[in-house]
Structure 1
C-alpha cells in the first residue's frame, strides 16, 4: 500500500484519505474549537473511490492519518467487453484489464481507440474520465 502519514488539520475537501482500508475522497470537513479541557476535534466525511461507500470519523485535529498516493495515468482503449475494458498505458505500453465504470455518462463516451484517464491507488485501478475528442 502506497500511503503517506499527515495530520488531519492539513487535509481539505476534495483530497484523499484512507478510511477502513479504502482510498476515499473527502466530501466534508468540519472542526470544533477547543474546549476548556480538550483539544479541537475534526469531523471528516468521505466517499470511497472504488466502492462508493460513505465513511466518517471524529478525531482530534492533531491525529495522524494515512493518505493514499494516487497515480493518475493516461491509457488508450484497445477493446471493450461487457464487464472489462482492455487499456494500453501510454507511458510504458503495458496492457491492463479494468472494470467498466459504473457511471452511465462515462460508459457512453468510451470508444475503442479513444484515450481515458485512470487512477492507480492502493493496488486498485479505475477509469475516471475520457480524454480528448471521443464522441
Structure 2
C-alpha cells in the first residue's frame, strides 16, 4: 500500500483519501468553528474509486489521515473477452486483465489506448484517448 500521511485541514474537494481501506474521492468537506473548549471539526464525505460506495467521517481538523498515491498510466487494448479487457501497459509492456467499465462499454475497441489508474493494489480504466 503506497500512501502518504497528511492532516485533514490540508485536504480539498476532488482530492483522494483512504477511508475503510479503500481509495476514495472527496465530494464534500465542511469544517465547524471551534467551541469554547473544543477543537474545530471536519465533516468529510467521499465516494470510493473502485466500489462507488459513499463514506463519511467526522474528525478534528488536525487529525492525520492517509491519502493514496495514485499512479495514472496509459495502456493499449489488446482484446476484449466478455466484460474483461486485456491491456498492455505502454511503459513496461505488462499485460493486464481489467473489468470493462459500463460507461465506456461502447467506446472501447481493440487497438485503442486508454488511461487507467493504479491505487492501493487495485486498477481501473478511467477513459479512452
C-alpha RMSD of matched pairs (Å): 0.6
2:117 aligned residue:
119
Normalising by structure 1, what TM-score?
0.94
1:108 aligned residue:
106
1:81 aligned residue:
81
1:56-89 per-position Cα deviation (integer Å, ceiling 9, x unaligned):
0000000000000000000000001112100000
For 2:12 and 2:117, the matched residues in 1 are separated by 20
2:38 aligned residue:
38
Normalising by structure 2, what TM-score?
0.98
1:2-27 per-position Cα deviation (integer Å, ceiling 9, x unaligned):
11100000000000000000000000
Runs of 4 or more above 4 Å deviation: none
Q: Counterpart of 1:108 in 2: which secondary structure?
A: coil
1:77-127 per-position Cα deviation (integer Å, ceiling 9, x unaligned):
000111210000000111110111132xx1111010000000000000000
2:97 aligned residue:
97
Unaligned residue ranges in structure 2 (runs of 5+) = none
For 1:66 and 1:14, the matched residues in 2 are separated by 15
For 1:69 and 1:102, the matched residues in 2 are separated by 25
1:59 aligned residue:
59
